[in-house]
Amino acid sequence: MALSSDEIVKRQIIDEIGYNNEPVHILIFPESSREDQKLFRDGGLTFGYNNISYGSCDAVWYIDEAWVDGYDGAELDKKPFIALEGTDALNRNSGGNALYQRFHHALGAVRNGVIGVYYLKKGSKSIQPDLYGMAYFASMIEKGDYLITDDLSLVKELIDSHDDEKKLRKVIDSHLKKMFEIFNEKFESAYKSDWNNFANKRSTVVFDDYVVKYAGRNTRNFTDGSQRAGHIAVGEMYLTKYYFYDKKFFYLFPRMTQQDLDTLDGNKKTDKEWFLLRNEPNVFIKTSSDILGLSDDLKKRLFAIKDSPLKGDEMREYNACTKDIFEGLKSGKYKIIN
């Protein structure tokens, strides 16, 4: 039977980095274990911040020192040093925004001041340059540093530098510089280094103090587990948040209404992706109910396709509606209710 992505990554971690890197200890569990889903404070591989729990990681390296957990202020006798989320997605024909889906798994650690590593094992696909940009900008505003890599030797270099703050900083800054260069090369070639060009191609409208990104999500996307749209929505949310980290972010789902939000809030209280979307600081989910100036006709057209798969005639109608909304927001004809 073929190994899972998690098992491949975990075996590679043990093979290339090993168990014995004293005084830095490793915490890692077999794929079959559910222990990783526990909070780090309870012996697991999940980090939280301000009572918000993020995704579980695949491995954590820690030191025997006192540490205060940012989840709820618990005082621990072990201090996390590196939290790694890994995937074999590049060998499994995954690319594009599919690679954003696991971005939040190490983010909880980063918000605690821990080094977060998102490791993508080398494969037939390449790491999206956007991913480097997301992590680079997250590193600029969060307590910890977020590193994207396809080479586990970076983790070994970090471990070997754990007791030399100056050397450790040099390793981190050198990698962050490489990440920015990869992102910036794509940004220059694809968008001529212009955020407005980026916005026009990425369903986004940029204003002086806020940004609006719209997406075709509907309630079924978050209630039907087979669609995994919640994971994609969270990944796209973090991309926009960190690219425009100095602005308020309105995440607009035009096919949904306030009633849909209320329904999801009531029924998805324990859903991690929905909880992150609804509780991310400075991010606000908006629906067609929040577009000031939207005509009754356009509301009816959106309502008519709110539960339909976006393909064929429904996709053409959605595109027509969002084009009107996009141009209306840019011209000032429409506004998002704050």
Query: Tens of pLDDT along 28-50?
Result: 998 778 899 999 999 999 999 99
Mean pLDDT, all residues of the chain: 93
**What's the average model confidence in pLDDT over 89-100?**
79
Q: What is the pLDDT of residue 225?
A: 64
What element of type H or E holds 285?
strand 283-287
Which residues are registered as beta bridge partners of 292? 335
pLDDT in tens, 271-321: 888 999 999 999 999 999 999 999 999 999 999 999 999 999 999 999 999
Beta carbons within 8 Å of 212's beta carbon, 6+ residues apart: 204, 205, 250, 252, 286, 329, 336
Ordered by start, the domain boundaries in the chain are: 5-187, 195-336
Within 13 Å, how many C-alpha atoms sit on residue 269's CB side?
Answer: 2
Region 157-170 average pLDDT: 97
Backbone angles phi, psi at 215, to 5 degrees: -145, 155
Q: Which of 177-186, 261-270, 276-285 has the lowest mean pLDDT?
A: 261-270
| Range name among 5-19, 64-78, 222-236 with the lowest pLDDT average | 222-236
**CA distance linking residue 228 with residue 54, whole number of Å:** 17
CB 93 within 8 A of CB 124: yes
Q: What is the pLDDT of residue 99?
A: 83
Three-state secondary-structure class, residue 71:
coil
* pLDDT of 228 higher than 70: no
- Report the predicted TM-score, pTM, of the whole model to 2 decimal places: 0.94
Give Cβ neighbours of residue 100 (< 8 Å, ≥ 6 apart): 128, 130, 131, 134, 232, 235, 236, 238, 239
User: Is 20 a residue whose pLDDT tops 80?
Assistant: yes
* Of 119, 130, 110, 58, residue with least CA distance to 89: 119
Lowest mean pLDDT among 23-37, 218-232, 268-282: 218-232
Instruction: Give the pLDDT confidence score for residue 226 in this predicted structure.
Output: 58
Q: Is it the case that residue 164 has pLDDT exceeding 90?
A: yes
- Helices 272-279 & 229-243, crossing angle to 10 degrees? 30
Residue 229 pLDDT > 80, yes or no? no
Read off the pLDDT of residues 135-146 as tens digits, 9 standing for 90 and up: 999 999 999 999
